[in-house]
């Protein structure tokens, strides 16, 4: 599919500035209040208001298969769908961060259904409320399933996220919306999330809507990141739906794109501060590339039992990680917000119980659960497979 190129960084910057100026706070931003967990500290910038560090978490694909939808129906007692119990196990990690990013892989169906899983997804819109109540602030919506129900599916999904108060980026209802990142604030920093996908399962972009889904194109990503920076973003996060399904090792395109994006800088300052990947269905490595953290693949957060390309049930499809990054304010005005602490929290979708499990915490409570230990160790092996331990990555909980 031919990559799309937007109309230029300057136009995007004008749009971003107009959005923030006109509204005071970006769309979907909760009422002003103290950060959820950032610790206060003195300002490192002379004459500036105090700026604090902040924590950012990001997690993998939310992929509601038929079994997941049935579980949410049962949890709602037959009156709609309730995905909150499914996510309750990771709520402390998610809500404890200052900024929490998710990946909504599928589009939502009409209110009342019908709802479907693989291969063409139409998910209950109640998921949006559950994501918000779990603590998520923004979701990437660019995936290979973004056009499973054409532009109506895109519209329904974004409308539901809006109603729930969850920001979104990666698919759009208008050209203007496609040019805006998701904007958040934490610890005195402005955070911009951008999102892109490798493709849409060969479903063409809707007629007259070349902006409906953001496709991966390195030059466009860099231009968008620079535009976000010009519009005031202190930290720019790129969500990338990429890679080869069922491959634990990142593929050549992932590694090439990661090098190119992290090498891009303006005035000596990197244009992108963090890359978080989804799509492969299995946990992949974390790695520092050109001084910037890259999560090649976080695995699935919510999914039913997964069948791989060998037509075998593959437990890795229910394994994932939550990345947690602590950003410290710059030592001087215009400097980079740097990651002072990098962690991952192994998680597992227990398909029998229909629950997402925080594995380190669950293993502490139930040390005799061999399945917890095995999943945690397999996820850790994938995460550390490219030497992230030497750059300071640790397991959190």
pTM for this predicted structure:
0.88
Task: Report the mean per-residue pLDDT for the chain.
Answer: 89
The pLDDT of residue 72 is 98
The whole-angstrom separation of Cα 127 and Cα 123 is: 8
Q: How much is the average pLDDT of 368-379?
A: 96
The whole-angstrom separation of Cα 104 and Cα 83 is: 13
Q: Is the predicted pLDDT of residue 121 greater than 50, yes or no?
A: yes
The pLDDT of residue 190 is 97
What Cα–Cα distance (Å) separates residue 178 from each residue in 173, 188, 193? 8, 26, 12
Q: How much is the average pLDDT of 155-175?
A: 98
Place of tokens 């597992």: 348
The pLDDT confidence band at residue 50, using thresholds 50, 70 and 90, is low
The whole-angstrom separation of Cα 287 and Cα 83 is: 32
167: three-class secondary structure by DSSP:
strand
Residues 6+ apart with CB under 8 A from 369: 362, 363
User: 20-24, 48-52, 143-147, 179-183: which has the minimum mean pLDDT?
Assistant: 20-24
Q: Is the predicted pLDDT of residue 24 greater than 70, yes or no?
A: no
Residues 6+ apart with CB under 8 A from 381: none
The pLDDT of residue 11 is 42
**At 294, which helix (H) or strand (E)?**
strand 292-295
The pLDDT of residue 386 is 98
Q: Strand 338-350 to strand 319-328: parallel, antiparallel, or no bridges (unpaired)?
A: antiparallel
The whole-angstrom separation of Cα 13 and Cα 117 is: 38
pLDDT in tens, 197-229: 999 999 999 999 999 999 999 999 999 999 999
The pLDDT confidence band at residue 290, using thresholds 50, 70 and 90, is very high
Q: Is the predicted pLDDT of residue 41 greater than 70, yes or no?
A: no
Sequence ranges of the domains in the chain: 54-395
Contact 237, 299 (CB under 8 A): no
What Cα–Cα distance (Å) separates residue 217 from each residue in 17, 286, 367, 394? 24, 22, 46, 32
What Cα–Cα distance (Å) separates residue 308 from each residue in 198, 235, 356? 20, 36, 20
Contact 282, 316 (CB under 8 A): yes
Q: How much is the average pLDDT of 291-317?
A: 96
Contact 242, 306 (CB under 8 A): no
The pLDDT of residue 37 is 38
Structure tokens at 63: 């992929």
What Cα–Cα distance (Å) separates residue 142 from each residue in 90, 170, 307, 331? 23, 4, 23, 35
The pLDDT confidence band at residue 333, using thresholds 50, 70 and 90, is confident
Q: Is the predicted pLDDT of residue 51 greater than 80, yes or no?
A: no
Contact 279, 298 (CB under 8 A): no
Q: Is the predicted pLDDT of residue 20 greater than 90, yes or no?
A: no
Q: DSSP string spanning 89-128? A: GGHHHHHTSSEEEEEE-S-B--TT---B-SSS-BB-THHH
Q: Which alpha helices (H) appear in 304-354, and where do they start and end?
A: none
CATH code, residues 54-395 = 3.60.21.10
Structure tokens at 202: 């060969």
The pLDDT of residue 83 is 98
Contact 317, 306 (CB under 8 A): yes
The whole-angstrom separation of Cα 250 and Cα 277 is: 10
User: 28-32, 294-298, 344-348: which has the minimum mean pLDDT?
Assistant: 28-32
The whole-angstrom separation of Cα 363 and Cα 372 is: 6
The pLDDT of residue 6 is 35
Q: Is the predicted pLDDT of residue 196 greater than 70, yes or no?
A: yes
pLDDT in tens, 75-103: 999 899 999 999 999 999 999 999 999 99
Q: How much is the average pLDDT of 28-45?
A: 36
The pLDDT of residue 43 is 35
């Amino acid at each position: 599919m031919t990559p799309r190129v937007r109309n230029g960084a300057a136009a995007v910057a004008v749009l971003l500035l107009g959005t923030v100026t006109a509204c005071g706070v970006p769309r979907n931003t909760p009422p002003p209040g103290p950060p959820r967990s950032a610790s206060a500290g003195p300002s490192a910038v002379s004459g500036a208001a105090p700026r604090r560090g902040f924590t950012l978490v990001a997690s993998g694909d939310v992929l509601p298969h038929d079994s997941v939808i049935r579980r949410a129906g049962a949890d709602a007692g037959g009156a709609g769908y309730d995905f909150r119990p499914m996510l309750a196990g990771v709520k402390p990690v998610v809500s404890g961060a200052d900024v929490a990013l998710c990946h909504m892989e599928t589009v939502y169906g009409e209110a009342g259904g019908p709802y479907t899983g693989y291969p063409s997804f139409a998910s209950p819109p109640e998921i949006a409320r559950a994501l918000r109540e779990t603590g998520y602030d923004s979701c990437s919506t660019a995936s290979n399933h973004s056009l499973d129900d054409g532009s109506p599916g895109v519209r329904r999904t974004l409308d539901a996220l809006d109603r729930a108060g969850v920001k979104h980026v990666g698919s759009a209802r208008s050209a203007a919306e496609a040019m805006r990142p998701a904007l958040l604030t934490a610890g005195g920093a402005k955070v911009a999330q951008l999102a892109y996908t490798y493709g849409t399962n060969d479903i063409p972009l809707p007629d007259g809507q070349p902006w409906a889904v953001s496709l991966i194109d390195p030059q466009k990503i860099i231009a968008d990141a620079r535009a976000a920076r010009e519009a005031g973003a202190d930290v720019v996060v790129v969500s990338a739906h990429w890679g080869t399904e069922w491959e634990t090792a990142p593929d050549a395109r992932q590694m090439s794109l990661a090098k190119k994006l992290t090498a891009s800088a303006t005035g000596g300052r990197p244009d992108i501060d963090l890359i978080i990947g989804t799509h492969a269905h299995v946990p992949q490595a974390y790695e520092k590339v050109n001084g910037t953290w890259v999560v090649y693949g976080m695995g699935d957060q919510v999914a039913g039992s997964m069948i791989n390309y060998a037509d075998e049930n593959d437990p890795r499809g229910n394994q994932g990680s939550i990345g947690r990054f602590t950003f410290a304010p710059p030592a001087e005005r215009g400097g980079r917000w740097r990651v002072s602490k990098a962690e991952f929290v192994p998680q597992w979708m227990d398909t029998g119980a229909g629950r997402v499990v925080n594995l380190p915490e669950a293993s502490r409570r139930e040390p005799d659960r061999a399945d917890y230990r095995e999943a945690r160790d397999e996820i850790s092996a994938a995460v550390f497979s490219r030497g992230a331990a030497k750059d300071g990555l640790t397991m959190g909980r």
